[in-house]
Structure 1
Amino acid sequence: MRVQVAIIGAGPSGLILGQLLAKAGIDALILEAQTPDYVLGRIRAGVLEQVCVDLLDEAGVGERLHAEGLPHQGIELLVDGTRHRIDLAGLTGGKQVTVYGQTELTRDLMEARTRAALKTVYEAKEVMVSDFDTDHPRVSYLKDGVRHEVECDFIAGCDGYHGVCRASVPKDALRTFERVYPFGWLGLLSDTPPVNHELIYAKSERGFALCSQRSLTRSRYYLQVPLSEKVEDWSDERFWGELRQRLDGRANDALVTGPSLEKSIAPLRSFVAEPMRFGRLFLAGDAAHIVPPTGAKGLNLAASDVRTLGHALIEFYGGSLEGIDRYSERCLRRIWKAERFSWWMTNLLHRFPDTPPFEQRALEAELDYVVHSLAGRTTIAENYVGLPFED
């Protein structure tokens, strides 16, 4: 088989890239190791920056998002029992975020690809990428016991942290940066109305908590827990009881509990791989970087990567090399700003087990300054809604 672009991974980043290329008339094949149901079963974040919403409109898949997504013009920080609202719209000239579950976003992208009869291969096993340091890269995969080979102009590695694309890069060509945090987030999804119309980020003596949502009838809650915790030890009753101890009275009065639809513990890490281009292989999304979820940047960063890559490939087929030559530089500048913000928010809002007393007091003073300072609140707001692209 011969295509112009082979995209490895059918998560949101790979699917968005596929849509952008299809609208430009560029022939792309998407390969995914899992089944469609497995991909849709991944429980992920759903806070979209305005630039991400704009990108989905550009890709032609924003109709249901605008109909069902929940615009949020602020967030609340609950610090030791006191609430502080960050007026996102007021501090950024009207910018906001939209709450729309990643599962629904992925479904929209899958359905658009099916309607357009675009090429996707699910359950593509033992994917291998090769010759990406030449003008004729190749991808091979196993499907139903048969080995297939794809010739292409470019390979887009949208296959996640554990994917084959970054692993196929020579070790001496890659530099990685990592910060592993000494705790995880225990998440619970329930068909209950949200406790608040905006997200609540809570810091308490017992640890961090987040009250999030997917819709007006589905809520997502998180608790900071030690990495030694096991999800099977957390009954629904225990989860709701612990959450109540980390919230204020107003939230507890509004909290509606119910049976969990899903519970899991996600470890937190910050990770960046540099560069993101290796000949004609490009890394995007989790294949190149991971952020802790505190700043709601993971999906948004992946979308910004494929925005940059999609435009670069369109420019290439229009006769310009500038976009692909500057892909890594452009992405990493934005990535490191988002990594810094997520790391900073994580440090401010979580309890670290081994923080010396001086540093703990300093962090508390910084958080106190941030929530009471116009400059501090503006810093959070500008980063949370998404920094502008610097094309």
Structure 2
Amino acid sequence: MNDSLDRYHRQMLLPGLDRAAQQRLAGATVMIMGCGALGTVAADGLARAGVGHLVIVDRDFVELTNLQRQVLFDEQDVADALPKAEAARRKLARINSSVKVTAVVDDLNAASFARHAAGADLLVDGLDNFEARYLANDYAVREGLPYFYAGAVGTEGMAATILPGQTPCLRCLFGPPPPPGQGATCDTVGVLGPAVSIIAAFQVAEVIKWLAGAHERLRRGLLTLDLWDNRLLQLDAADAPDSDCPCCSGRRFDYLEGDAGASATSLCGRDAVQLRPRPAGAAIDLAALAGHLGKHGPVKVNDFMLRAELGDRGKVFELSLFPDGRAIIKGTDDASEARAVYAKYVGS
């Protein structure tokens, strides 16, 4: 056996996962969209399985409340204020140095998605909102890429394998996204760590099947579970895309083309708003800005981001600013208030 494959010996004993299948995994590029609870479990599993190149895209940084369920992070990552994608890259390098991990600290939106997804063989969902998922779904359908969906909130999880042209897409399955404030989030109902881990493990298994060439083993339909109620269901889906689907059948990619979506996004479980200026300007000198913001409160700065506590209008906001001008304003879920804080301390 090739020494480089020795670590996968137990995996290669399985039917359908022989040496040739393992080499297919090693030659694959997988884009992991989001590196929170779902994304860390998926990245960990795929790196240990020997997927050759993981592209991890995440806009956020590591916080103490993440450690309950986000398996690649620890307290030192919190103290260092590391972006999640970079913290994951460092941890995965210690788990499997033969896997290439590209960390992308950015938001996934209509302007950036195709650039970050270039060269990917498939998409793995570690996202936390419908807007981003429908953006990914648009790209998957347009490019004919497999999209491995998963979601978890409360004690529930669900997963589906989307094969464009062969199975219903995400918009076929779920229809229009729920209006803001009407969908359950980890902020409103919480999240159970094991529910995340289990549904992401199903997701990873599906990816391994696909890359190994065991396509006949792929799960068809929507898998749902509730760990608190001890419920596991496989919901059958149609054998083909919905003829009325605007994405699959109509070939309308509203999210990818920027006709749907917003530049201000409330973040799950964070009492925070992400702002992405349009158009993006030149890179911000974070160190220089830190000198100015230090007059208003504690500031941390590194090569990846600036974080400052700002007392304003009788409230305390936490500003996390990235070099491209993207910001997360914590301490409010009101987009207009977040924009006011940004304009005052960063500029517009």
User: Which of the five TM-score ranges fits, normalised by the shorter chain?
Assistant: 0.3 to 0.5
Instruction: Name which structure has the greater RCO, CA cutoff 8 Å, separation 6+.
Output: 1
TM-score w.r.t. the length of structure 1 is 0.33
Higher-Rg member (1/2): 1
Which structure has the highest helix share of the two?
A: 1
TM-score w.r.t. the length of structure 2 is 0.36
Which structure has the highest strand share of the two?
A: 1
